[in-house]
């Protein structure tokens, strides 16, 4: 085959390929315009050739409206970008105390069982106290004797039978006896092991007869009327979290039970290794369904920036990035956009858009910047309005 025939065939194939590309690939016309191809040539490639007979009639009917391209639009809106924090935390009781004796000795009584609710100051166990009882009785007798002696010396002092020094010595002896009695009574009281706070008794780890010291744990008492949840947040949220800020949480073991709470405390420094901040939330537990040690999924929502939103179908792509088509009057306008956040029903974008702008969602394949467009449904609405106006005349 001669060279000129090969060139002619190649040119024909190239022309057909470009025509198909321009007609069916979104943004193809814009790409040709960007490399210097004139708009009349692009329009000629994008418009189907009109034929005779019925085909020509169909094409002429579709071309009504001055050759404008039929499109469907949806108005743009505005929305706040979701800035949400999700973290996993560990729960602890609002007040948890490991009960230990204040003295050493053998256990003689355990007055509670695991799971019992106790009040603050309630006796939960007792140590052997025979020696302390005897010491307290002896101190009481000493005090009574010292009081009688002081009263007798006071009566004798009026008759000058004793000196004022003797009376003063008797008063000091009484005060000393009273202090000794208080010490003995305190030692006796310390043989009772009491709950320092209200709550629920955990598993008791000792038995009657065991010898215990001041470091021996008897039981753990948890006040779980509220649960504290410790979790770690990224560094970028450090300045946004404040005490009292609301949080939502779910116990991992109870995924269907939503819990509402608030920030209880914030650490004063970030962990340098992980660049995270320790935060503590407080959750109410009125039904006593939560336990210390449970894991929680904590969610916090923050007010974000407001951005325009468009329909997901409106987003188009080219070599320069994402863009949309906006209808201004009866002309199409290409607007570059930067996608901020994708949602199932809308896309938040950073673009020069106003709320209510008409954004093309269908018919974008043949659009070009500044091209004439017709919005589907608008002509029917205008005709109906005109008909109603004529009937009311």
**Total domains present in the chain:** 4
Shared-domain flag, residues 90 and 225: yes
What confidence score (pLDDT) does residue 82 get? Answer: 67
Can you give the pTM of this predicted structure? 0.57
For residue 360, give the CATH number of its domain: 2.40.420.20
Cα separation, 196 vs 344, whole angstroms: 54
Count of Cβ atoms closer than 10 Å to residue 220 Cβ: 19
What phi, psi does 82 have (nearest 5°)? Answer: -75, 120
Residue 99 domain-assigned (yes or no): no
- 296 and 244 within one domain: yes
Taking only the tens of pLDDT, the chain with its 393 residues reads 567 677 777 777 777 777 766 666 656 666 666 666 655 666 665 655 444 444 443 443 344 445 788 899 999 999 887 678 899 999 999 999 999 999 999 999 999 999 999 999 999 999 999 999 999 999 999 999 999 988 888 888 777 777 888 888 899 999 999 999 999 999 999 999 999 999 999 999 899 999 999 999 999 999 999 999 999 998 888 888 999 999 999 999 988 889 999 999 999 999 999 999 999 999 999 888 999 999 999 999 887 788 999 999 999 998 889 999 999 988 999 999 999 888 888 999 999 999 999 999 998 888 888 889 988 877 655 555 555 555 555
pLDDT of the residue at 80: 83
Who's near 72: CB < 8 A, 6+ residues apart? 360, 361, 362, 363, 375, 376, 377
Concatenated DSSP letters of 181-205 = HHHHHHHHHTTEEE-SS-EEE----
* Residue 103 belongs to a domain: no
Mark whether 245 and 317 lie in a shared domain.
Answer: no
Residues 345 and 388 in one domain: yes
Does one domain contain both 327 and 380? yes
8-state DSSP, 372? B
Residues 204, 116: Cα–Cα separation, whole Å: 11
Domain that residue 153 falls in: 129-190
Same domain, 297 and 313: no
Q: What pLDDT does residue 127 have? A: 95
User: Domain check: are 294 and 325 in the same one?
Assistant: no
Residue 263, domain CATH: 2.40.30.170
Is 378 domain-assigned?
yes
pLDDT of residue 56: 40
Instruction: Output the pLDDT for position 97.
Output: 93
Cα–Cα distance between 177 and 183 in angstroms, integer? Answer: 10
Q: In which region does residue 356 sit, left (phi positive, over 0), alpha (psi from -120 to 50) or beta (all else)? A: left
In a domain, 208, yes or no: no
């Amino acid at each position: 085959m001669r060279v000129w025939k090969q060139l002619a065939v190649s040119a024909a194939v190239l022309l057909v390929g470009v025509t198909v590309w321009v007609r069916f690939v979104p943004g193809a016309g814009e790409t040709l315009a960007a490399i210097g191809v004139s708009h009349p040539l692009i329009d000629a490639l994008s418009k189907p050739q009109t034929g005779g007979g019925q085909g020509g009639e169909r094409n002429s009917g579709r071309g009504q409206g001055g050759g404008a391209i039929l499109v469907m639009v949806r108005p743009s809106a505005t929305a706040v970008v979701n800035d949400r924090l999700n973290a996993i935390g560990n729960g602890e009781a609002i007040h948890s105390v490991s009960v230990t004796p204040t003295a050493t000795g053998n256990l003689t009584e355990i007055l509670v069982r695991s799971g019992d609710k106790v009040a603050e100051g309630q006796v939960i166990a007792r140590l052997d106290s025979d020696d302390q009882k005897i010491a307290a009785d002896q101190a009481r007798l000493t005090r009574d004797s010292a009081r009688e002696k002081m009263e007798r010396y006071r009566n004798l002092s009026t008759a000058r039978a004793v000196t004022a020094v003797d009376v003063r010595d008797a008063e000091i002896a009484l005060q000393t006896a009273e202090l000794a009695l208080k010490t003995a009574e305190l030692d006796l009281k310390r043989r009772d092991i009491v709950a320092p706070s209200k709550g629920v008794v955990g598993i008791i780890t000792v038995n009657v007869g065991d010898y215990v010291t001041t470091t021996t744990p008897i039981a753990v008492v948890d006040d779980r009327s509220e649960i504290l949840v410790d979790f770690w947040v990224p560094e970028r949220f450090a300045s946004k979290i404040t005490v009292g800020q609301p949080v939502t949480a779910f116990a991992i073991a109870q995924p269907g039970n939503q819990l509402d709470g608030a920030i209880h405390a914030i650490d004063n420094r970030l962990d340098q290794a992980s660049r995270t901040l320790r935060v503590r939330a407080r959750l109410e537990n009125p039904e006593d369904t939560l336990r210390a040690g449970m894991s929680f999924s904590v969610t916090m929502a923050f007010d974000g920036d407001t951005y325009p939103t468009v329909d997901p179908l409106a987003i188009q792509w080219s070599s320069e990035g994402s863009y949309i088509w906006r209808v201004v009057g009866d002309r199409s306008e290409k607007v570059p956009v930067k996608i901020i956040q994708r949602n199932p029903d809308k896309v938040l974008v950073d673009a020069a858009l106003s709320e209510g702008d008409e954004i093309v969602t269908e018919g974008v394949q043949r659009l070009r910047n500044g091209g004439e467009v017709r919005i589907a449904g608008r002509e029917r609405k205008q005709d109906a309005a005109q008909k109603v106006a004529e009937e009311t005349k």
